[in-house]
Amino acid sequence: MSDNKLLGPDEAEFAKPLFVPIKRRSFFMYAGATAGATALLLAGCDDDDDDTDTPSGTVSLGSGDVGVLNYAYALEQLEAAFYAQVIATPYTGITTEERTALTAIARHEAIHRDFFKAAITAAAPTQIIGGLTPDFSKVTFTDRNSVLMTAKTFEDLGVAAYNGAGSLIKTNDYLLIAGKIVSVEARHAAYIRDLLSNGSFADSTVVNAQGLDQALTVSQVLAAAQPFIKDKINGDNVGK
Amino acid sequence: MNLFQIIREIEKVDPEIMDRLTHRRSALTALGDISKKMALAAAPIAIGSAFNKAMGQQTLNSVNDVLNYALLLEYLEEDFYAQALAAPTLAANLSAGSPALGAIQTIKAHETAHVALLKGALGANANPRPSSFNFGTAFATYASFLTFAQAFEDTGVRAYKGQATKIKDAGNPNNLLTIALQIHSVEARHASHVRYMRRAAPAGSIAQYGWVTNAEANGAPAAVYGAGNPAATFPAESNLVQGGLTLTSVGGNTYTAAEVSEAFDEGLDNTTVVAIARSAATF
């Protein structure tokens, strides 16, 4: 990818906010162990995940456009599993409006996940990755701040991932579909951010002085997402 | 909305549009002034059917055309927010230190940055800023201002999305595709927040979220959420089919039409976008 100039010196800054909440919440790793374990059990029921595992236990996303589609499918699986758990075990003090909105977001992410699964199955049935096993052990699902900070991380990461992957896509139909999804992720991101702090929908941690949202490389995104996924993901050939 | 200006604009890409409207035009010519006003009230229906035929094309032929098109939209948005921030009628709602003022200042700053970025990318090829934008009664009330803002932001999202493949097909010079996508998602963040502001508005609260449900306009021009052309590429926001899959039933799960429509935003061709802009502003 030739977007190094865009990311350039800010790369470290971009990556930082994605990790800060995790560290800050490490305290909750223990407090939230029960909720986390529940999440894992539920998520584990999803699908078998060993059909495309390499012998070493690593899930390869593959190459070319299929790699990009698997990359998106992996991220949507993560988001869908997260919001499903948020809705199954709502945080303390959730308002009616928040529950309605988060339920809508959960449905959107589930639709994205199911869409990619069906689309990849149709286009490249032998190359689709299996169901991933999320790791939400660092999330305290009873705690509003923990849930919304994680949601913010996922939504901002999703936006940055699609923005960065657009130029890797070779097929116009896929590019247009990625564009149709990324703006919805951005709408989610703005809403979640406003719930955390009204007016932070597009603050300087995600939109730079040129008025540009983040665009991250596959490796940057996977590094940020990996702590939330038990399977080791390899995206080295995505788009190539 | 200025129908005749729209027709003039469409004539540039579709010289035959007046032929399709001829019976309407001769009717207008033949009628007296009072009758003309009455006829005009019915005109949007005739215009609407003519649009369907007229907007059969994306008309931007080069990356510079795409960038100048984006620049025009950013000029419009920047000016819109600048006028809003200066409007006495909005001062009570956009008061010093208020979240509303902060949000509009943030959005305005981004539009200004987008103008600078696009002008920089175009260099000597940048089109000049139109001499003025007249937004009519947009700033008469806070509710009206937010409705216009939603229309512009949601249209902006659709506009950038509609040009992604154009930039790609031109070879993605200077990785402009990534930059366009980075602007595109910022516009979506704006749209989401403006929708949230309307939901939270003290008067005339709109029961909507940051995403687009079906093709509900909630006071914005219906065309903002309608189909572009070709409709197969640029369907209305109520579209349920992606990649040939009808997503109300997929992967063994069922979803409502509202949920599916919300999960995907749709692109729009440049001719439809400019017509929408000219229906909301004179420039």
Q: Which stretch of DSSP H or E encloses residue B249? A: strand B249-250
pLDDT confidence of residue A62: 97
Q: Which pLDDT tens digit goes with each residue over B97-128? A: 999 999 999 999 999 999 999 999 999 999 99
How large is the average pLDDT for residues A37-43? 38
Cα R_g (chain A), whole angstroms: 17
A12 or A66, which is more confident? A66
Residue of B nearest to A209 (CA): B113
pLDDT, chain A, mean: 84
Q: Which residues of B touch A167 (CB under 8 A)?
A: 168, 172, 175, 177-178
Which residue in B158, B156, B182 sits closest to A161, CA to CA? B182
Check CB contact under 8 Å for A212 and B179.
yes
Mean per-residue pLDDT over chain B, rounded:
86
pLDDT for residue B27 is more than 60: no
Contact yes or no for A190 and B189 at CB 8 A? yes
Does residue B181 carry a pLDDT above 50? yes
Segment B191-216 mean pLDDT = 94
Contact call for A107 and B188, based on CB within 8 A: no
Per-window interface: A 17-76 vs B, CB < 8 A: none
Longest dimension (CA), chain A: 48
Q: Does A239 fall in a domain?
A: no
Q: What is the total count of domains within chain A? A: 1
Is the separation of the CB atoms in A189 and A159 below 8 Å? yes
Contact B164 A175 (CB under 8 A): yes
Q: What is the average per-residue pLDDT within B78-92?
A: 98
Interatomic CA distance for residues B22 and B226, integer angstroms: 25
Beta bridge partners of A157: none
How many angstroms separate the CA of residue A30 from the nearest CA in chain B? Answer: 34
For A52, the domain range is 4-234
The yes-or-no verdict on residue A45 having pLDDT over 50 is no
Q: Within a domain: residue A240?
A: no
How confident is the model at residue A78, as a pLDDT?
A: 98
**Could you tell me if residue A177 is inside a domain?**
yes
Residue B29 has pLDDT above 90, yes or no: no
- Residues A150-171: what's their mean pLDDT? 98
pLDDT of residue B59: 86
Cα end-to-end distance, chain B, whole Å: 12
ipTM score above 0.90: no
**A215 has a chain B CB within 8 A of its CB:** yes
Confidence at residue B58, expressed as pLDDT on a 0 to 100 scale? 82
Q: Choose among B111, B93, B68: nearest CA to B198.
A: B93
Coil/strand/helix, residue A138: coil
Mutate to test the interface with B, among A6, A109, A111, A218 (most CBs of B within 10 A): A111
Residue A221 placed within a domain: yes
Chain A residues lying within 8 Å of B247, measured CB to CB: 111, 114-115
C-alpha count within 13 angstroms, C-beta hemisphere, residue B71:
21
Its CATH architecture, for the domain B63-221+267-280, is: Up-down Bundle (1.20)
* pLDDT above 80 (res B45): no
Find the mean pLDDT for residues A215-226.
98
User: What tokens does A200 get?
Assistant: 């932070």
A175 touches chain B (CB under 8 A): yes
Dist CA B211 CA A200 (whole Å): 17
What Cα–Cα distance (Å) separates residue B176 from each residue in A171, B71, B162, B172? 17, 14, 14, 6
- Burial classification of residue B110, based on how many CB atoms lie within 10 Å of its CB (0-12 exposed, 13-18 middle, 19 or more buried): buried
* CB-nearest partner of A211 from B117, B160, B247: B117
